[in-house]
Structure 1
Amino acid sequence: MSDVSGSELRALMARVPSVEKVMASAEFAALLAEYGRTQVLGAVREALDTWRAGAQSGDASVSALDVAQLKSAVEAALRKRHESRLRSVFNLTGTVLHTNLGRALLPDEAVQAVMKALTQPANLEFDLGTGKRGDRDDLIDELICELTGAEAATVVNNNAAAVLLTLSALASKKEVIVSRGELVEIGGAFRIPDIMSRAGAKLREVGTTNRTHLKDYEEAIGPQTALLMKVHASNYAISGFTKEVGLNEIAPLAHARGLAVAVDLGSGTLVDLSQWGLPRETTVRETVEAGADLVTFSGDKLLGGPQAGLIVGRRDLIAKIKKHPLKRALRVGKLTLAALEPVLQLYRAPERLTERLTTLRLLTRAADDIRLAADRVQPALQHAVGERYAVTAEPMFSQIGSGALPVDVLPSYGLVVRMADGKRGGRQLLALEKMLREMARPVIGRIADDALRLDLRCLEAADEAQLVEQLKGARA
C-alpha cells in the first residue's frame, strides 16, 4: 500500500473507459456472444467497482485501466461463475462405493438410456397397450420380481425413503419389534429409531446389544404389534459373545401370529458375490425365500445402479404401500427409472456381470492389474510432487463402502507419498493433498500413517491416461 495523490487518482479515474465503450468494443464481442449482455454487463460493473476501490485505497499495484485489461478480469470472473459445482474427480480413496463421491458408477447401457430419456418423450406413465394413464412402477416391476422372486415391487428415491414409506404405510400408531443390536445409525444420521418415530410407528426393542433370542420376539408380540423387522448391520459388526435370530426363525413365528416380517437389507445384492471371490452377502432372493414379506434395499450400492430405494415382497403389502400418500412424494423420476432398467437387465446374464457392471468390475479387479497401473502412474506423480516427496508403489487394501460388508477388505495396490527426508509429513502432506484436490480434475486420496495414500482400484484405463497427463502438467 502507498499513498496516491489526489491529482494522480483523478488522472487514473479519468482514463477509466466508460461501460458503454467497453460493451461496444471488439474485445468484448466474443464474451457477449458466449454469456449474453446481462451477465457481461454485471461482470464489467463489478470489475470496475473493484478497480476503483483499489485505486481509492491507495493500492500501489493499481495501474491505469484499459479495455484489454478489463476484458481479462471480466472473462476470468465469468468462467469461474460458470464452473459446475458438481465436478468429476479421481476416486483414489480405496473405497469403491464412496457415499461422498456418488457411490456406484453406471454402466454404459444405463448412461445411454438416461441420455435418451433426457432428450425424447417417454411412456413414463402411459400404457401403450390401452392408450390410458399407466403406473411408472410397471416399467420395472416385472423385471425386479423376476430377479428377486418377489410377488410385487415399487421404487422410491433411496433406501431410507423405502424404510420410511414401509413403516408409515404398515405400522403407523402400532408397534414394530426390532432387536436392540440392529438399531443402527448409518451415514447422514439415518437412525432406525428416528425413522420409526417419523413414520408414526412405535419401536419395541427386544434382546440386548449383543444377544437376542427367539423368545424375546415371542414375548414382545401383542395386540399393538404390526411388524417384526430385521435390519442389516450397516457400517459395523458385532463379534464375540453374540446371538442373532435368523429370518428362518422369525418368519414362522410372525406368520403363525398373523404378522408380517420386513427386512432392511441396506446395500442389497441380487447375486452371490462369493462366486467372484468377494465376501458372502445374503441376496434379496434368498431373503424373500427365507420368509420375508417385504425387503428394502438400495439401488446405488452393490446393485450398481442409480440412487433408488427398492421395496419388494407380498403383492397385498406392496399395493398398500403404493396407496400411501408418501409414495407420491418419494417416487422416482424418469431418469432414475431409465437408468435402473438396463442395470437390472444385466443381471439376466450373471456370467457377464464382471465385464458389464461397473461396480462389480471394480470390486473384482485383480491386485496385479492395479499394481501395473501404479507402476505406470508413479513417474508422473513423482514429477508432480517434486523431489521433496518420495513416491512408491505399494500394496494396500480397498473397501467396498457404503455400509456394504463393513469389515471386509480387498487386496489392492496404490501409490504412497512420504517426505523424502524420512520425517513426518504433517502440514506438508496436508498441503500436497490440497494441491491434488484443487487440480482441474480433483485427485481424492487419503492421509494415513504419515503418508498420502492413493489407491488405484477405481482408476480404469481411460481415467489413468487422463490422470497421467494432468500430473505431467503439474509441479508442487
Structure 2
Amino acid sequence: MPRTDRLLRDPRLSVAVERLGVDVVKGAVREAQRRAREGRIPPEDVPETALALLPGTACGLRPVINATGVLLHTNLGRATLSAAARQAVQEAAGPTDVELDLATGVRARRGRSALAALRGRVPSAGAAHVVNNGAAALVLAATALAAGREVVVSRGEMVEIGDGFRLPDLLVSTGARLREVGTTNRTSAADYAAVIGPDTGFVLKVHPSNFRITGFTRSAQTAELTGLGVPVVVDIGSGLLAPHPALPDEPDAETQLRAGASLVTASGDKLLGGPQCGLLLGDPDLVTALARHPLARALRVDKLTLAALKATLTGPPTPTARALTADPARLRTRADRLAHGLAADGIDVRAVASAATVGGGGAPGVTLPSAALSLPEPYAAALRTGSVPVVGRLESGRCLLDLRAVPEQDDERLAQAVRSVRPGGEGRA
C-alpha cells in the first residue's frame, strides 16, 4: 500500500495541495487507500484514484446544469450570474476602493457605484440602499419605521415565503405589531383607512408572488393608499425593476414608485438576475434613515456582492433575461438536434414540448413554452450524481431535461453528461 507521505510528494498531488489545501488532498488519498484495502482497486491505482476523487475547487459547492425548466430555482441558487458579473467578482476579490475615494484619500460611501447604477435603472427612485437579501430589506424597514408600532397589512397578503418562513413571523420579530385588514380574498382602500392612527408605522403591500387567488377578489392598489398620511411600503419580491412584456401581471419597482409608494423592497437574485441581495428604493429621506439605522450595519453586503450587482445592472443581458425571452422554436431546434445525436448512440431519448416556469417566488401561474429531452425515469438520479451533475424533473414517468434555463453553449456538456451515465450506474463517469 503506498504510504500517505510518499503519495503527497507525487507532483500531481503536490500541485493539488497548493490549489485545494493539504486536508482536502489527504482526505482523497485516504479514501483511495481505503478502497485498495477493501480490494475495490489495486494498490497501484491509489494515486490515480486519489486524483479522480479531488474536487474541482475548494468552494464546497458543485456546479450543476439546471434542466428543471425553473428559471430561478431556489435550491440551485436562483439567478445565474452573467459573465460580466463573474468577472467583476474576480476583480473585486483583492483590495478595492469599496469605501475609499481615491481622488481625495478620504472615506466614501460604500457601494456608491452600484447604488448609482440601481438608481439609473429605476429613475423614480430618489435613493437606493442594498442589504443582504430581500427578507432583510423588509426587516430593516419594519425595524426602523414600526418597532413598537403597527404595520397595516391585508389578510390576503400574509404570505409564507418558503421553507416555513412566514411574513407575519418575520415582521413581528422586529418588534412591530401587525394590524390585519380586509379578508383573504377582498381588501379595499377603505379597510386600510379605517385603522390608520397615531400608532401606525406604515402600510405594507406584499405581492403574493408564489400563489394566485382568483374569482371574487379585490385588492387595493398602491395609488389608492398614498393619501393616508403614512408611508406606503411595497414588497414586490421578485426584483423586476421595470415592466416586462412577458410578465404583464408582475409588479415592478418603477411602476410602484410612480404610483406613490414611499419605499419598494425586492430581491436581487430573482428576475434582476444578479447576486443575492435586498434592494430598497424610494423616498430619499426614508432610504437615508434606513441606511443610517444601526441594524443596517448587520445587514450590509460585501464588496463581491456590490461588484456583481453593479455589473448586472450595467452589463449585457443576464442569463435570466435571456432565458425569459428565449425563442420556443429555437429551443425545439436544439432539443431535436440533441435528441438525434443521443439516439444515434443507442439512448432512449426524444425531443418533446415542455412548459417552463419563472420560479423563485415570481410570476405564479405563468408558463413559458419550452422544449425538453425525454429520457427513461432512472436517468434522473443517474444524471444528478454524474461527474457533471444535471438536474431535470420527472413527468409522466419520464425524466425531462428542459432547455429554457440551459445556455446553448452548454448543449454539448449536457449531451456528454447523458452519454456518460446509465441508469443503475452502468457506464457512469
Distance change in 2, residues 1:345/1:318 (3 Å):
same
State the match for 1:186 in structure 2.
Answer: 161
SS in 2 for 1:96: strand
Q: How many percent identity over aligned positions?
A: 42
Task: Give a deviation string over 1:74-99, Cα, whole Å, max 9, x none.
Answer: 5555x269775312211111111111
1:266 equivalenced with 2:248 (yes/no): no
**What whole-Å deviation, never above 9, does each CA across 1:416-440 have from its counterpart, x for those lacking one?**
235xxxxxxxxxx2x3211111111
Mapped pair 1:209 → 2:184: yes
Output the amino acid matched with 2:128. Answer: A
Quote the offset at 1:23 in angstroms.
3.4
Q: Deviations over 1:293-324 (max 9, x none)?
A: 01101111111211110101111111211122
CA distance 1:378–1:25, shift in 2 (3 Å): closer
**What's the CA shift for 1:159?**
0.5
Contact 2:335 2:371 in 1 (8 A): yes
Q: 1:73 to 1:140 in 2, by over 3 A?
A: closer
Question: In structure 1, which of residues 106, 123, 140 is the aligned counterpart of residue 97 of structure 2?
Answer: 123
Question: Is residue 416 from structure 1 mapped to residue 365 from structure 2 by the alignment?
Answer: no
Q: Within 5 Å, which residues of 2 pair with 1:23-422? A: 23-24=5-6, 28=10, 30-32=12-14, 34-35=16-17, 39=23, 68=44, 70-71=46-47, 74-75=50-51, 79=54, 85-119=60-94, 121-148=95-122, 149-252=124-227, 254-255=228-229, 259-274=230-245, 277-346=246-315, 356-382=317-343, 390-418=348-376
**What is the alpha-carbon distance in structure 2 between the residues aligned to residue 217 and residue 73 of structure 1?**
66
Q: 1:69 to 1:395 in 2, by over 3 A?
A: closer
Q: Corresponding residue for 1:11? A: none
* Separation (CA, whole Å) in 1 of partners of 2:321 and 2:27: 49
Tell me the residue number matched to 1:3. none
**1:338-380: CA deviation from partner (whole Å, max 9, x where unpaired):** 111122224xxxxxx6xx3321111111110000110111134
SS class of match (1:288): helix
The offset of 1:288, in angstroms, is 0.7
Give the TM-score of the pair, scaled to structure 2.
0.89
Shift of 1:150: 1.3
In structure 2, distance between residues paired with 1:440 and 1:161: 36
Check conservation: 1:378, 1:415, Cα contact below 8 A: yes
Q: Could you tell me how far 1:147 is from its partner in structure 2?
A: 2.5
Structure with the largest fraction of helix = 1
Aligned AA (1:146): G
- TM-score normalized by structure 1? 0.80
Cα 1:278–1:286 change in 2 (3 A) is closer
Match of 2:427 in 1: none
Residue 130 of structure 2: SS of its match in structure 1?
Answer: strand
Q: Which residue of 2 aligns with 1:4?
A: none
Q: Aligned AA for 1:226?
A: G
Greater radius of gyration (CA): 1
Q: Are the structure 2 counterparts of residues 46 and 457 from structure 1 closer, same or farther at C-alpha, using a change threshold of 3 Å?
A: closer
Deviation at 1:35, TM superposition (A): 2.7
Gaps of 5+ in 2: 424-429
Q: Secondary structure of 2:350's partner? A: strand
Q: Deviations over 1:35-93 (max 9, x none)?
A: 379656777677767877x6xxxxxx599x86x3554565555x269775312211111
Which letter does structure 1 place at the counterpart of 2:248?
P
Provide the C-alpha distance between the structure 2 equivalents of 1:324 and 1:245, rounded to a whole number of angstroms: 30
Deviation of the 1:215 alpha carbon: 1.9
The answer for unaligned runs of 5 or more in structure 1 is: 1-15, 55-60, 347-352, 419-428
SS in 1 for 2:156: helix
2:410 is matched with 463
CA 1:83–1:114 in structure 2 vs 1: closer, same or farther (change >3 Å)? closer
Q: Name the SS of the counterpart of 1:269 in structure 2.
A: coil
Tell whether the 8 Å contact from 1:267 to 1:302 is kept in structure 2 after alignment.
yes
Counterparts in 2 of 1:432 and 1:181: CA distance versus 1, 3 Å: same
CA distance in 2, matches of 1:414, 1:298: 29
Kindly tell me the number of residue pairs found equivalent between the two proteins. 419
Per the alignment, do residues 216 and 439 of structure 1 end up closer, same or farther by CA in structure 2, a change over 3 Å counting? Answer: same
Contact preservation (8 Å) 1:27, 1:71: no
Name the SS for the 2:382 alignment partner. Answer: helix
Determine the structure 2 residue equivalent to 1:421.
none
Match of 1:166, SS state, is helix
